[in-house]
Amino acid sequence: MTVVWSWWASGFALAALMLGHWLLTGRMFAVSGRYTAIVDRVRQGAPVEPTLSDAEMIEAIRVMTAEQLGPDAVTPAGRAPLSEPVVKRALPWTVHLAFLGAVLVGGLASALLPGGPGLLREFGGAAFARIFGGHNGTELLALLVGGLLVGAGTRMAGGCTSGHGLCGVSRFQRGSLVSTFTFFGAGIVVSMVLSRLAA
C-alpha cells in the first residue's frame, strides 16, 4: 500500500525545501521559470557571452558616469563605492535542465523505494478513465491539451504553483495572491464541470 504523508508533514517538507533552496542557492524556488529558461535557450540559441567581467563592467560604468556627471556622481559622500554586481547573473540553462531532470528522478525514487507503489503502468485512475473515456487516444489528447494550457498559462502569468502559489503567497505578493486564487478557482470550475459531464 502506498504511503502518503499526512498533510502537515507534507507541508513541512515542502516549506523546508523552499527555505533550503533560498539558503543554499540565494534564489527563490520557482519551477515554471526553468521551463522558460530552457525554451528561450532553444528559441534564441547560445547567449552572447559578455566580454567584460562584472568588475570590469562596473569600473567602465563608473568611469563613464564620472566623465558625464562629475566625480561626485560615482562616490557620493558617506557611501562606499560600488563593488558588488547589482543584478544577479542568470543561471546557465543546464542548471534548470538538471533541476527538472532531478524532479523526475525524485518521482522514480518515490515509486520504487519502500512505501511507494512500485513503477506505475497506467496514467491516472478510475475518475480519469471515466471522464476521458477509457484507454484510448482521447486520454493522451487531453493530457497534451492540458499541458499546452499549463505551459502557455504559467509563462503568461509569470509563475506557477511554486513561484506564485507557495513562495509568492507566503510573501504576500499581490500578483501571486491574484494568480493563486485565479488558478485554483479555474481548476475548481473546470473539474466540477468535467465531473458533471461524465456523471
Partner 1 sequence: MMHARFAAIGVAFGFALSRTGFSSWERTHAMFTLRDLHLVFAFAMAVGLLAVGWLAVQAFSREKPEWAPRNIHRGTVLGSVLFGTGWAISGACPSVALVQLGEGQLGAAFTLAGIFVGNYAYATARERWLHWNTGSCVDD
Toward partner 1, which CB reaches closer, 11 or 71?
11
Toward partner 1, which CB reaches closer, 16 or 57?
16
Closest by CA to 160, choosing from 149, 172, 150, is 150
Helix/strand/coil for 31: coil
Taking the complex as a whole, the smallest distance from the CB of residue 74 to partner 1 amounts, in Å, to: 22
- Please state, as a whole number, how many other Cβ atoms lie within 10 Å of the Cβ of residue 152: 10
Taking the complex as a whole, the smallest distance from the CB of residue 41 to partner 1 amounts, in Å, to: 11
Residues 84 and 26: beta-carbon distance below 8 Å: no
Taking the complex as a whole, the smallest distance from the CB of residue 63 to partner 1 amounts, in Å, to: 26
Q: Write out the H or E segment, with its range, that includes residue 180.
A: helix 174-198
Which three three-digit cell numbers place residue 12? 513541512
Taking the complex as a whole, the smallest distance from the CB of residue 49 to partner 1 amounts, in Å, to: 17
- CA distance linking residue 27 with residue 108, whole number of Å: 26
Taking the complex as a whole, the smallest distance from the CB of residue 174 to partner 1 amounts, in Å, to: 5
Toward partner 1, which CB reaches closer, 5 or 63?
5
Toward partner 1, which CB reaches closer, 68 or 89?
89
Toward partner 1, which CB reaches closer, 66 or 151?
151
Length of the chain: 199
